[in-house]
Chains A and B, each alone.
Chain A
Amino acid sequence: MHEWALAEAIIYTVTEIAEREGFREILSVNVKVGELQQVDLETIKFALTQLKRGKLEKAEFKVETVKAKLKCRICGEIWDFDKDKLDEEVAEAIHFVPEVAHSFIKCPKCSAQDFEFMEGRRMYIESVGGIR
């Protein structure tokens, strides 16, 4: 499961933030994941609880999906990502590397593949809370 790799990335980053910003203990971490990544939330949360150590021992992780919106650079159309319209292999490829959506998804209005991800692409750590 590549959710474990993502969870590990979160742990490394929060550990670094804790050091840099002088936290003694981290109590809460808010993570957003883009819908395009189609991350399994239960798996990633489980991985996070298994991997947390040291200053992160008591941290509660909140992981939420952000809906993916795409915008055509040619005609301006904005549309929602719909996983169910893709075949399984394509959905899996996008799950690993969301940008390959440019190989498979077209603007529903003008068929261009020159679109941008307005939101719901990336995973990021929104906030970190704890005791300094």
Chain B
Amino acid sequence: MFDPRITVLEHRLSQVNNIFAVSSGKGGVGKSVIASVLALILARKGFKVGLMDLDFTSPSTHLILGVKDIFPKEKEGIVPPTVYGIKFMSIVYFSKDKALSLRGQDFSDSFLEILAITRWGNLDYLILDMPPGINDATLDVVRFMKRVKFIIVTTPSLLSFSTVKKLLDSLHTSKVEVLGIIENMKIENSSSIREHVKGTRFLGEIPFDPQLEKCFGEVRELLSTEISRKLEKIVDKIIYQNV
């Protein structure tokens, strides 16, 4: 019994130059915000960018970007719609924002199915918004996307960082490249994770912005926040100094 989806997946991603997974050991640390803004910043720089929401149970990048009432075009597969210069793919096109609880194999099957039929075409960067923790999505991304590089998000909390360390260990064991760690939701005087980071690149800090949620769905406002300015510096670090 051969599963044709696994063979075709590689072909579907053959014109994608870089795959970055935005991940964390913990939930609620800002992965989806960072993945979305990261994609916007790269698109604004003129790169060809794709964003895929891999949080099938609680997808949220479509809410951050304000994507609604669109559906992929069907053309020898499905072509992700372009929103704000980003080719955007999410399970919400199919689950219609209804609850979707998937057990392990069902997650893998949806993951393979979507990737087997999605025609990304030529992309400089494909950004993956990962669900929290080390789980099916992490394992499948590592297993089926050999070239993936991880961007790890933590908050200043040592609790959050302790889960990140486990994630780093497991990625290291699987020989997956980690681009670095972003410390999100910095507030003044909060302790710093920077000094605890060893053996992995510290990419920078992003401040806590109590006004952030007002910018959801307003891409121009989202891009003019301090969060975006800080993230832009981080993007430059990743794409220009890492060659």
Contacts and interface: CB of A to CB of B under 8 A. Distances in A.
Interface of A: 1-2, 4-6, 8-10, 12-13, 16-17, 89, 93-94, 96-100, 102-104, 113-114, 121-126
Residue of B77, B94, B101, B109 contacting most chain A CB atoms (<10 Å): B94
**What secondary structure prevails in chain A residues at the interface with B?**
helix
Given A5-B119, A8-B8, A100 B91 contact: yes
Contact of B4 (A1, A13, A100): A13
Interface of B: 1-8, 11, 74, 76-78, 91, 93-96, 98-103, 106-107, 109-110, 113-114, 116-117, 119
Contacts of B102: 99, 102
Given A9-B7, A99-B109, A100-B95, 16 more contacts: A2-B117, A5-B8, A5-B78, A12-B4, A12-B8, A13-B2, A13-B8, A89-B96, A96-B113, A97-B91, A99-B102, A100-B110, A102-B100, A102-B106, A103-B98, A114-B101
B94 A122 contact: no
Nearest to A17: B2
A97 B113 contact: yes
B104 to A, nearest CB: 11
Contact of A93 (B8, B94, B107): B94
A10 B4 contact: yes
A54 to B, nearest CB: 16
B4 A9 contact: yes
Contacts of B101: 102, 113-114
A93 B93 CA distance: 8
B90 to A, nearest CB: 11
A122 B112 CA distance: 11
Contacts of A100: 91, 94-95, 100, 110
Given A8-B8, A9-B7, A12-B8, A93 B96 contact: yes
Contact of A5 (B1, B76, B107): B76
Contacts of B107: 99
A121 B102 CA distance: 14
Nearest to B9: A9
Nearest to B3: A124
B95 A93 contact: yes
Contact of B74 (A1, A99, A104): A1
A99 B2 contact: no
**5 nearest interchain CB pairs?**
A5-B77, A9-B8, A9-B4, A4-B76, A103-B98
10 contacts: A5-B8, A12-B11, A13-B2, A96-B94, A96-B114, A97-B94, A99-B100, A99-B106, A102-B106, A123-B5
Residue of A2, A104, A114, A122 contacting most chain B CB atoms (<10 Å): A2
B109 A9 contact: no
Contacts of A13: 2-4, 6-8
A125 B2 contact: yes
B4 A4 contact: no
A2 B1 contact: no
A118 B64 CA distance: 37
Contact of B113 (A16, A89, A99, A124): A99
Contacts of A12: 4, 7-8, 11
A1 B119 CA distance: 12
A35 to B, nearest CB: 15
